[in-house]
Amino acid sequence: MMQHKIVARFLDGRVLKGVTFNFRPERRTFHLQLDESGEQVEVNVDELKSVFFVKDLTGNKEYTERQDVERRGYGRRLEVKFVDGESIVGYTQGYSPDRPGFFMAPADPDSNNDRIYVVRESTEAVNLL
State mean pLDDT over 81-88.
Answer: 96
**Confidence band, pLDDT 50/70/90 cuts, at residue 124:** very high
Residue 1 pLDDT exceeds 80: no
| Domain ranges within the chain, ordered by starting residue | 4-54, 76-128
Q: What is the pLDDT of residue 67?
A: 86
- Same CATH topology for 4-54 and 76-128: the answer is yes
pLDDT digit string (tens) for 97-114?
Answer: 899 999 999 999 999 999
Quote the CA–CA distance of 45 and 94 in Å, as a whole number: 18
pLDDT digit string (tens) for 8-63?
Answer: 999 999 999 999 999 999 999 999 999 989 999 999 999 999 999 999 999 888 99
Angle at 30 between CA 24 and CA 35, to 5 degrees: 115
Architecture, CATH, for domain 76-128:
Roll (2.30)
**Confidence band, pLDDT 50/70/90 cuts, at residue 68:** confident
CB neighbourhood size of 30 (10 A): 21
CATH node for 4-54: 2.30.30.100
Nearest 5°: phi and psi at 23?
Answer: -75, 125
Biggest CA-to-CA distance, the chain: 41
